[in-house]
Chains A and B, each alone.
Chain A
């Protein structure tokens, strides 16, 4: 099998994952998109491992690691999403902007300087 086909597939998968991460509003779907991206990478690793006929099978080993870590990550991520949903009754990312910088306008520097000048 030529290398091109799995690589193109991986690219498509990764692109779909990126689109999902950036465009989806639902946190669970975003997590799923992340999984897609990880699996695209896994596909790449396996494909290149075969293509390069690696004696140590590093690519496959690495893939196993990625799968394990992805599982852990999804577990953790789902738990967070669950907690967020319990607290806020929503899992929509657009509504979760607690860490946004409020826009108070620039603090009034002029008043300070005038006071010191008067002193």
Chain B
């Protein structure tokens, strides 16, 4: 357990030191942040190796309880737990966090708020580790919300720019919207299972009624959809690119957005008990997968291309969960963490050199930035799913699982599995197309920006190289049958044994020959089409050929505008009318009572004439009235 505590507490301590000492000793900011991330990485490495050792024989598990919080009938334990999945995801988080900390030290050199920035990244790392190792839903929720807050502050790092403030608020509000459902999902699940401890909920999953499981998982899915930027709540992620690029790499590509997927994988038996939720997940994943990829096709901002690509890739993971393979989802989570972090850091290197986010102003960087070019090409190839690279294997695992569920039946209805398969294959083609467009626009033709770009410094280059290695190799762990599944140790058997499969077969990754060939062909077609269009006019953006459909793709199907009409404006209107009511009605009543009393007093003041005889007349009249009253009434 010591390693787990170290993994969580080392970055937390670094964050505390950064917050309280960063201003006084600005020079310590870099060493403190990097030390915290390194300690966390060492701890995660130890855990992952132990999981790997143990995974060969039995399922690896290690639990520890720090304290118990009694709350009447139910008690909450501060529980931490390591199993294979947690150890591996923790390792991925630690690797990316360290790469980002090193990278940031050069990327944000001379930034006046660097120390607080590094502290927030450390705090985020600690929170993510807490989510990964939590064994209690409330502990998980704490990490989950701290991540959200860090995301908010880091998106708003350049708060002088109005756009970045708005994006930060948007990200926070949209994810909060999902978190409301998430919190109630925790309540439903915890009260139904009688405990909030994840491992006990999972072991009791088969005892839950389907109705309860459906309600609980649908509510939890709200939070997952918000955090992982899936369809109805995906709008915050592209705007979150207003934050510094390393933050986008860590939070909005590799780790935080994958937390939703991780949560579903963690509670997978409960989700398997609710086929309705799985079908809903499949539909959401299909819409997001293809929609995100199409939107990525027409973005001018290189980071927005990658953001929509993240949305689309997260949908792959969600679809893998929907068709019953949490192992495939986790596999794609890992490979995606590696290559998407690499892509963002490489994009940051390009942005750093060129000084703009817009791809039409880049071009021809192949010669000026050879290392960035090579590493980014590796990342793009992995994203497009070309055979030797990591993305190919994990994507094939997802598609293979969908094919398996579509042909032989799985936990989800066949139509959902078929649509996941078809949409997934289509998305492979679109992904290859936008990847090619990004690659060509950024690195080929002649420079258009007019800036003499040069290769970035070593602190930026080394993280790129370090992340390029897993982007190439990590796919190979999925090749050997059942090896990754045993390492992760996810229980994928549907509760109640409605589908009779033996556990060894169920946990295997299916990389089918048909889907592999089909997806490679589609990827090549996507690549070839964009290349053909580009060859005719290398100085032009290939997406301009889409003419009519381009605006729809560029605005991501006007979802933002739709939400603006449906929610933002009515809420603004309501807020304004509330403000008016407060000012005019409530404020009017207050000041009206004051001025009314004043006016009444004005009437009384009239009687104060200064003439003594008038007063006496009044006095006499009063006495007479009282006397008459006394006489007549008694």
Chain A contact surface mostly:
helix
Is the Cβ of B616 less than 8 Å from the Cβ of A100? no
- Flag the segment in B151-159, B446-454, B583-591 that touches A: B583-591
The reply on A117 being an interface residue by CB < 8 A is yes
CA distance A114 to B598 in the complex (A): 17
- Contacts A22-B620, A106-B598, A113-B587; A99 near B610 (Cβ below 8 A): yes
Question: Does B605 lie within 8 Å of A101, measured CB to CB?
Answer: yes
Knowing A22-B616, A113-B590, A117-B587 touch, does A103 contact B605 (C-beta < 8 A)? Answer: yes
- Interchain CB contact under 8 A, A100 and B608: yes
Report whether A93 and B612 are in contact in the complex, using a CB–CB cutoff of 8 Å.
yes
Instruction: Specify which chain A residues have a CB less than 8 angstroms from the CB of B602 in the assembled complex.
Output: 103, 105-106
- B residues 562-620 in Cβ contact with A at 8 Å: 583, 587, 590-591, 594-595, 598-599, 601-602, 605-606, 608-613, 616-617, 620
Interface size class of A (residues with CB under 8 A): 20 to 34
A103-B605, A106-B602 known; A21-B590 Cβ under 8 A: no
Query: Is the CB–CB distance between B620 and A110 below 8 Å?
Result: no
Kindly report which residue of chain A lies nearest to residue B598, judged by CB atoms. A106
Q: Mark B222-261, 1 if CB is under 8 A from A, else 0.
A: 0000000000000000000000000000000000000000
Residue A98 is within 8 A (CB to CB) of chain B in the complex: yes
Q: Once the chains bind, are A21 and B610 in contact (CB under 8 Å)?
A: no
Q: Chain A contacts of B608 at CB under 8 A?
A: 100-101
Residues of A within 8 Å of B601, CB to CB, are 106
Task: Kindly list chain A residues whose C-beta atoms are within 8 Å of the C-beta of B611.
Answer: 93-94, 97, 100
Query: Which B residues are in CB contact (< 8 Å) with A2?
Result: none
Per the 8 Å Cβ criterion, residues 304-325 of B in contact with A are none
Closest to A24 in B: B613
Contacting residues, chain A, for B617 (C-beta < 8 A): 22
B606 lies within 8 A of A103 (CB): yes
Tell me the smallest distance from the CB of B417 to a CB of chain A, in Å: 61
**B-contacting residues, A28-48, CB 8 Å:** 30
Distance of A30 Cα from B610 Cα, bound (Å):
16
Choose one: B583, B591, B598, B613; the contact of A93 (CB below 8 Å).
B613
24 contacts between A and B (CB under 8 A): A18-B620, A22-B616, A22-B617, A22-B620, A30-B613, A97-B610, A97-B611, A99-B610, A100-B610, A100-B611, A101-B605, A101-B610, A103-B602, A103-B605, A103-B606, A106-B598, A106-B601, A107-B598, A109-B595, A110-B595, A112-B591, A113-B587, A113-B594, A117-B587
* Residues of B near any A CB (own CB < 8 A): 583, 587, 590-591, 594-595, 598-599, 601-602, 605-606, 608-613, 616-617, 620
